[in-house]
Amino acid sequence: MTKSAFLLILYALFLSVYSGTALSQTDFYAGKTILMVIGTDPGGAGDLRTKAILPVLRKHIPGHPPIVVQYMPGAGGQKAANHVFKAVRPDGLTIGAMLTGMVQGAVLGEPGVLYDLDKMIYLGSHARYAPYVFLSRKGAGLSSKDKLKAASGIRIGAPSVGHSLYATARLFAYILDIKEPRFVTGYTPRELDLVIDRGEIDARVNIVDSTIQRNPHWFEKDLVDLHATLDIPKGVTHAHPRFAKLPDLDTFAKSKREERLIELLRALRVTGQPFVVPPGTPADRVDILKEAMRKSLRDAEYVAAYEKLTTEPAMPLMAEEYEKALREIPREPELIDLVKKLSGAGPLPPR
């Protein structure tokens, strides 16, 4: 055998092995089924956001595997995060659709967190759009910043202690210097709209878009006063004219510490609802899923479905953007302790 013939045989063998490996990577998902673990109950906003992407994601994964859903609500998304991190086989066949509570639980060091944010593998994220507004009913007579600051014992409604709306309402009360606010808890978000109308509470916090969609009569009949927003992401443009000129909560901060506090609360929300796979998932499968997720989050079909189902603008984060957002979350112990106090049942801390 000549040297050139021998080299040709080696080259042919190399091509055969390489192409077989590439084919096995590309075709891994053909004939397989992917399980999507969703950290919430069926029918809620988190579920609807995830449902918007499922058919689009299947389209972009080579082999077009069917995706089945498993709901795993509990502890604000931490139960599902624990499961994906600790119990799921890292084979690329299970994806976690997480909630914002996953990030908050880990950053704040809440009990029961068994996952490591920095070791989880992120594919991308949606639902980082969540601008909040602090409002009061017209009958409470809080129509200006001075009246709001002069009043005492304002009844602020919220769901349970620790709920995101509760913690955000406490943040507004703290930064706006409201005197001895009374936090009235135990309502669902929709019930808070009703008790505002009945005069059982004076004020509440809610996401801007939900406020507009559920209560158009408030604006048609001028039944509420709007005081400030917490824009997430920062600089978001509000479509409704009543919100366009409202001050952002940042403008009321009196110190660098308070600016960092608002930055931390905003950062815990702006990371949105990430899609994850557990540590140890083979790199080639991670690459396939990241690329499929990237294409899906930019797909016009996903954007249309997302905005129809949620009535929110689609503002996704790609995997690299998500990891950067995580790295930039303020994690000073003093700030974390302050957030815990705002999320708890005790009196507001002194400024």
d(CA 313, CA 114): 33
Backbone angles phi, psi at 189, to 5 degrees: -55, -40
Handedness of CA 340, 343, 344, 348 (dihedral sign): positive
Q: Are strands 94-97 and 34-38 parallel, antiparallel or unpaired?
A: parallel
Q: Tokens for 319, please give them.
A: 């995997």
Q: Taking the model in full, what pTM does it have?
A: 0.82
Q: Report the C-alpha gap between 233 and 242 in whole angstroms.
A: 19
Mean pLDDT (the chain, rounded)? 91
Helices (H) and strands (E) in the chain — how many of each?
15, 11
Task: Answer yes or no: CATH 3.40.50.720 is held by domain 132-267+334-343.
Answer: no
Q: Are residues 157 and 184 in contact, defined by beta-carbon separation less than 8 angstroms?
A: yes
Q: Using CA atoms, how far apart are residues 275 and 326, in angstroms rounded to an integer?
A: 14
Q: What CATH number does domain 31-128+272-315 carry, 3.40.47.10, 3.60.15.10, 1.20.140.10, 3.40.190.150?
A: 3.40.190.150
Domain with CATH 3.40.190.150 in the chain: 31-128+272-315
Least confident interval from 1-10, 107-116, 232-241, 340-349: 1-10
Mean pLDDT of 268-292: 96
Q: What is the pLDDT of residues 121-140, one digit of tens each?
A: 999 999 888 899 999 999 99
- Mapped onto helix, strand or coil, the DSSP state of residue 36 is strand
pLDDT digits (tens, 9 = 90+) for 53-95: 999 999 999 999 999 999 999 888 899 999 999 999 999 999 9
Domain limits, CATH 3.40.190.10, in the chain: 132-267+334-343
